[in-house]
Structure 1
Amino acid sequence: MLLPRRAGRRTNVGLLGLLLLAGGTGVLAFAVGSPGPARLVVAAHGAAGLGLLLLVPWKAVVVRRAWHRRPVGSGGLALGVATLLTLLTGVLHAAGVTGPWPWSAGVPVLHLHVALGVATGALVAVHAWGRRQRPRATDLHRRGLLQAGALAAGAAALWGAGEGLLRLTGAPGAQRRATGSFDRGTDDPAAMPITQWFTDTAPPAAAGTVEVVAAGRRLRVPVADLDRGDTVRAVLDCTGGWYAAQDWGGVRLDRLLALLGPGLPADGSVDVVSVTGYRRRLPLADAGGLLLAVSAAGRPLSAGHGAPVRLVAPGRRGFWWVKWVARVEVVDAPWWVQPPFPLQ
């Protein structure tokens, strides 16, 4: 096997950069639901992951050189295995081989990919400890920048070739959404998977009314009164790797708040809270585009999908779509003063 003659610090820096980019865009992909930005984030995530393969020949030289000095420790081997498995599961999900399989204990391949990615990140931190490299002025010289540009171009080309191959072969992965999710139940709510955020649990019973609070005023609205003829077609895009487009029916959030009467705040945020305590805070300015839904595709919501009422937040990932809504409250705090992902 022919290997490059020169490899060293820049190889390791390149690998670290790609790993950090893959990890960062992987987290960001869970947060971005709009197709345009999501496509860019997912493309960067895929290119960064596949770009690691381009540096394998150079990394092999580094490993062989280190082996001659002293045997490679188990930490480096574990990191290599975890990285390859993370890459493999990511490719399988992108291709549409979503699982679960008998050997995976019912866990979908995307969840395996995320778990392996977290493990890889931890191993990178351990492996890099004590091996810190100081920035050098030469890193920004023409040769270093050209090498970085070539790596970026090669990674993008490899990702593009993979996407082209999926479309050429008609693989299921060619039909995935910009976020990487696959269709599961569009216009058929009964076919949608029943999932919730991992920190949340399905309640034994849901609320029969929704409490609306703003400017010191308080009102309890029976769920039966929330079907006010407002409809929106929106895509529920779950971070579990599936999506479904439905015609959701209920009441717009701004119309619900208007039931409290005039003189409500013109700005601020709105907290939407579940009977479980799960909550998300959204800009009050977006209230006209948010819906408290009691039906999907003309059918009442099922308990697993948030009955009797759930939030519909177009353009946002599924963890924003609060289920089993019990309270809607206008608050003064900015909407971004909350964890980027739910912790409760």
Structure 2
Amino acid sequence: MALPLPRRAGRRTNVGLLALFLLALGTGVLAFAVGSPVPARLVVAAHGAAGLGLLLLVPWKSVVVRRAWQRRPAGGGGVSLGVATVLTLLTGVLHAGGGTGPWSWSAGVPVLHVHVALGAATGALLVVHAWGRRQRPRATDLDRRGLLRAGALGAGTVALWGAGEALWRLTGAAGAARRATGSFERGTDDPAAMPVTQWISDAVPDSPAAELVVTTPGRRVRVPVGDLDQGDVFRAVLDCTGGWYAVQDWRGVRLDRLLASVGRDLPADGAVDVVSVTGFRRRLPLSEAGGLLLATHAAGRPLSPGHGAPVRLVAPGRRGFWWVKWVARVEVVDAPWWLQSPFPLQ
């Protein structure tokens, strides 16, 4: 005999699942953009809680599925969505727990990348599945009972996420030591042990630039790469969206010092474009130039080609795709720094 609550499964169950799906997808994308500890921890926690929260609605959803099957044989779309969801959750849990052996880095592909790919596929299947099943809002969605149900679901998702975090600590799993962003340590103070990764289609160039072209209002200067080692040192965390991080002592020249030596009358509200020899670029606020470094060395050793030699940007507090490798040009522009794609398109 079915329990009273599952027997009442229906529209609210689907709305709850949709809300958790959208929250998980949205926070998953946002997690790639946030690098500072407190915001990153909140975003990653919300992502994990929303994903695990889907499990809380399984008893109700199973009733909905059985009813649908009784009326009409199930199509492949719903089954595909269910399988993709399960695999996405499984790979997310494997990454959060730290994984071992083939589960952490299989054939050079981190399990986090598999999780992201499955999440994108799940999102696409969700759109296909929901198309034609649109539900109109109802006044009862925001009544006292509806809000209490939503609150209970939210509390349950947080409790389930907290139980998972406690499990990693009690068992001594590697997941207990991951950073706020969800990344695991690989290669701190040992640049050779850091994975060599690039953003999407970017690749190690055959011929890196021998000089840096610095452009400020009314002036353009070519600086030999050998002159960029000015002894400025930042100890900063490179946190890659591939799921790993490393702390290094990066040495080179502070960006504000370099710009001050080249030009004057820099725009107060301007920005600076840092451009790779490959064409990859990121735009940052000019006001943050004092906290940015053009690095030629890591841990006292010259950068390797895979890690951006001869010079790369060090941008503390930002995720790895902001740390432009193989820098060829630095251009001061009179434009808002946020006037760019949130994520590089290359």
Which TM-score bucket, shorter chain as reference? over 0.9
SS at match of 2:109: coil
Provide, for residues 302-336 of structure 1, a one-character-per-residue CA deviation record: whole Å limited to 9, x for no partner: 01000000000000000000000000000111111
Match of 1:171 in 2: 173
Equivalent pairs, count: 344
Q: Does 1:276 align with 2:278?
A: yes
Match of 2:65 in 1: 63
Q: In structure 2, how many angstroms separate the alpha carbons of the residues matched to 1:207 and 1:175?
A: 38
SS at match of 2:267: coil
Match of 1:155 in 2: 157
Q: In structure 2, how many angstroms separate the alpha carbons of the residues matched to 1:171 and 1:200?
A: 34
Q: In structure 2, how many angstroms separate the alpha carbons of the residues matched to 1:258 and 1:211?
A: 14
Runs of 4+ in 1 over 3 A off after TM superposition: 98-106
Q: CA deviation at 1:201?
A: 1.4
Question: Which one-letter code corresponds to 1:234 in the other structure?
Answer: A
Question: Which one-letter code corresponds to 1:181 in the other structure?
Answer: S
Q: CA deviation at 1:2?
A: 4.7
Q: Is the 8 A contact 1:101 1:107 kept in 2?
A: no
1:98-247 counterparts in 2 under 5 A? Answer: 100=102, 105-247=107-249
Provide, for residues 55-87 of structure 1, a one-character-per-residue CA deviation record: whole Å limited to 9, x for no partner: 000000000011110011110000000000000
Q: CA deviation at 1:104?
A: 5.4
SS at match of 1:259: helix
Q: Is the 8 A contact 1:301 1:308 kept in 2?
A: yes
TM-score by length of 2: 0.97
Match of 2:84 in 1: 82
Match of 1:288 in 2: 290
SS at match of 2:195: coil
Q: In structure 1, how many angstroms separate the alpha carbons of the residues matched to 2:104 and 2:270?
A: 49
Q: Is the 8 A contact 1:98 1:110 kept in 2?
A: no
TM-score by length of 1: 0.98
Q: CA deviation at 1:106?
A: 3.9
RMSD: 1.4
Question: Which one-letter code corresponds to 2:156 in the other structure?
Answer: G
Provide, for residues 150-176 of structure 1, a one-character-per-residue CA deviation record: whole Å limited to 9, x for no partner: 000000000000000100111000010
Match of 2:9 in 1: 7
Check 1:236–1:104 CA distance in 2 against 1; reply closer, same or farther (3 A cut): closer
Q: Is the 8 A contact 1:96 1:173 kept in 2?
A: yes
Q: Does 1:25 align with 2:27?
A: yes
The answer for unaligned runs of 5 or more in structure 1 is: none
Question: Which one-letter code corresponds to 2:68 in the other structure?
Answer: A
Q: In structure 2, how many angstroms separate the alpha carbons of the residues matched to 1:103 and 1:333?
A: 41
Provide, for residues 240-259 of structure 1, a one-character-per-residue CA deviation record: whole Å limited to 9, x for no partner: 00000001000000001011
The answer for unaligned runs of 5 or more in structure 2 is: none
